[in-house]
A and B are shown apart, each in its own frame.
Chain A
Amino acid sequence: MRDIIRVFLCVSSWCLLAGMPAFSQTIACPPAPTMFIASIATSVSFDASTNLYTYRYTVSSASTSQQEISDFAVDFATPTSGIASPTGWTSSVFADRNTVHWKATAAAPLAANQSDVGQVPPGLYQVTPGTSLSGFSFQNPNPPGPVNYYALGFVDVAAADTEETAENTSDNCAGTVGGFFDLAVRGTTQGPVQFIPVQIDIKPGGTPNAINPADKGVVPVAILSSGSFNAPASVDPATVRFGPAAAAPTDGGHTEDVNNDGLPDLVFQFPTPATGIVCGDTSETLTGKTLSGTSIKGSDSVVTVKCGK
């Protein structure tokens, strides 16, 4: 279904001054390239000889999808290498960002009886509804973490019969003629991250996490384990720091299941004066590294108390 936008325009200076429409122009926006349901399966392997992770993706389209998937991209923060594509797809990287973009670019030529009006033929190897496509992969030195993926459904370019209609279509059909990241369906998958995001719990066992910046005691902070992250087994205690002043812990940490999820968490004590927490802070961050050297980072909310004038 085509989205119709009616734009009122003026043809005389009187009209401009009076703000009255004198005639209208009909703009036909193309369908949004989002009429599909995608799911992404990721597998990650690590090669110790090259120190590189290989990320492999399989793109699946639900049988109820109304469009074939023509574009797939994974967005992350570090340069990558060794990009491989499925048959009939080509890969590229967006200008000024480390987003790997695959597109089903192998297409049939126009049929002999088909007029060339500047249209785009569909890719021969697009992901059709109810099917999956593997073969998207790349290598990266950074470990896996949550990253965004993007996908587009195939839609021919919008058509206009005049220059001004083309320009007005660009201006008025932002939802269907926009840029890649504005148009695409976005989701989360696994990809290279510069640090592993971890969950932390400041002053475990209660909320709010009230902190008196003038206190001379310690602030307990737990690094929580999850199904994919074992804090006690992964974190290098010597690297853990907390607060704006990056305070070092008073000890090497201890194991405790602070949130009763059955997983052992790692709890550190930080001297409050060394944390650099000041009145008005609303969030504090813990940083560190895993035993394999990958950075970790997590934040939790705080409420500063006894900050009267």
Chain B
Amino acid sequence: MGRKWLLSLSVIWVGILLPAQLCMAQTNPQTGIQMDQAQTQAALNALASCAQNADFCAQPSIQSPESQVGSCTASQQLQTTPLAAFCFDPFTGQPIPGVTIQLTVQAEDGTGGHVHTDPGRPHGDFNPASGLVSPTDNLLHTVYTSPDVSGIVDATISGTLSNGTPCFPTTSRIGIETQGLVAVPASGTGYGTTPSVGHDSNNLFANPSVATNLQRLPVSFDILAQALITAGFISSQPIPTVTYTSLSLTYGGLFDVASLGTSITNPWHPPHCGHRAGTNADLRIKDIPAQFRPALIQSILDSHFTMPVKTENPSFPGATHWHLKAN
């Protein structure tokens, strides 16, 4: 009786589930989706572990097809998450057979540290993105492939019963994120930073040990530089300040920036492949006179970074920097 009444109103709930071994929030709790105890616990775990306010989270991919990577040589690492979508009867909590499911995704502007709102933001994909639920369990089994860009992706699930009755659509928030990155203070003893165009100051995140070493490096450099001045090898002068120009974004992932470093002329694309996981940093070298650079190398090595690689762009020499990579 109750079920017929519900169907007559054409209100059938749609949800999306992770397999039991994975963590996921089925939908916004306001939708009233019912889950069994195991799924509920998994959902709670997922909510607790997501750094962003998301129903569940996944790592960003590297070189997913939609990022149209041009020159990043990092090994392709597609991050995939198996999911099961369904349309269920709210009275029984059971998935309904014979339903055709559609899944769409839309990345949210302003998330993941990206302030810019250029069109074409990668959002990842479901495969399949639509189809008839399985006759064995009444679920549409699909796989979500993360985009390269971190942030929030809204996944909307809709469906139609075999008799043409639409299911009530729901939206889940997928948090694409590299977890555990911490903010390096914008300035500290012996160093400063520059914000990134299109990302404000969201470009100053690194994994905890790298963040610590990035703050230690200029302190060590200051001591060595002062020793050289005291010994008379360098004329008395203020010790130059170390300037970091790019680390990683808040939740890692693709850090889009133009090769000239002046503006985002190629949004949602590399270069900056190395700045995805909180382990790389760019250091503006033109601020450091050449006589100080051997001491800077010593501090870099002591702080467990690899030997730097210099990048000099003749058309924009101000962007000349040393690329540091955590070792």
Contacts and interface: CB of A to CB of B under 8 A. Distances in A.
Nearest to A16: B65
B307 A16 contact: no
A254 to B, nearest CB: 50
A159 B69 contact: no
A110 to B, nearest CB: 5
Contacts of B227: 90
B7 to A, nearest CB: 42
Interface string B240-273: 0000000000000000010101000000001111
17 contacts: A25-B73, A87-B231, A92-B223, A95-B302, A95-B304, A105-B233, A118-B286, A118-B310, A120-B290, A121-B290, A158-B307, A159-B312, A163-B282, A163-B323, A168-B72, A170-B323, A180-B301
B321 A118 contact: yes
B26 interface: no
A163 B72 CA distance: 10
A12 B64 CA distance: 10
B146 to A, nearest CB: 15
B274 A170 contact: yes
A32 to B, nearest CB: 11
Nearest to A169: B309
Contact of A107 (B285, B290, B307): B290
B301 A101 contact: yes
Interface in B260-303: 261, 270-275, 280, 282, 285-286, 289-291, 293-295, 297-299, 301-303
B186 interface: no
A176 B271 CA distance: 23
A163 B319 CA distance: 10
A85 B59 CA distance: 47
Interface stretch (A3-11, A35-43, A258-266): A3-11
A106 B228 CA distance: 7
B34 interface: no
B303 A121 contact: no
Contacts of B304: 94-96, 179
Contacts of B73: 7, 9, 25, 168, 171-172
A158 B310 contact: yes
Interface in B305-327: 305-313, 320-323, 325, 327
A215 interface: no
Given A94-B304, A117-B310, A108 B213 contact: no
B311 A162 contact: yes
A116 B311 contact: no
Looking at chain B, what size class is its interface with the partner chain? 35 or more
Interface of B: 63, 65-66, 68-74, 76, 212-213, 216, 220, 223-224, 227-228, 231, 233-234, 257, 259, 261, 270-275, 280, 282, 285-286, 289-291, 293-295, 297-299, 301-313, 320-323, 325, 327
Interface in A112-139: 116-124
A114 to B, nearest CB: 8
Interface centre among A71, A101, A107, A167 (most CB of B within 10 A): A167
A95 B213 contact: yes
A59 to B, nearest CB: 16
A118 B259 contact: no
Contact of B309 (A71, A104, A108, A157): A157
Interface centre among A70, A164, A169, A178 (most CB of B within 10 A): A164
B259 A90 contact: no
A16 to B, nearest CB: 5
Given A103-B298, A104-B294, A179 B65 contact: no
Contact of A16 (B76, B213, B273, B291): B76
A177 to B, nearest CB: 5
A250 interface: no
Nearest to A96: B304
A166 interface: yes
Nearest to A122: B294
Interface in A22-79: 25, 33, 70-71
Contact of A164 (B68, B233, B259, B321): B259
Contact of A90 (B66, B257, B273, B295): B295
Contact of B290 (A116, A160, A163): A116
Contacts of A17: 65
Contacts of A179: 301, 304-307, 327
Contact of B294 (A7, A120, A169, A180): A120
B28 to A, nearest CB: 33
A166 B309 contact: yes
Nearest to B290: A110
Nearest to A159: B310
B223 A178 contact: no
A118 to B, nearest CB: 4
A308 interface: no
A242 B124 CA distance: 61
A109 interface: yes
Given A103-B298, A182-B327, A171 B74 contact: yes
A182 to B, nearest CB: 7
Contacts of A164: 70-72, 259, 270-273
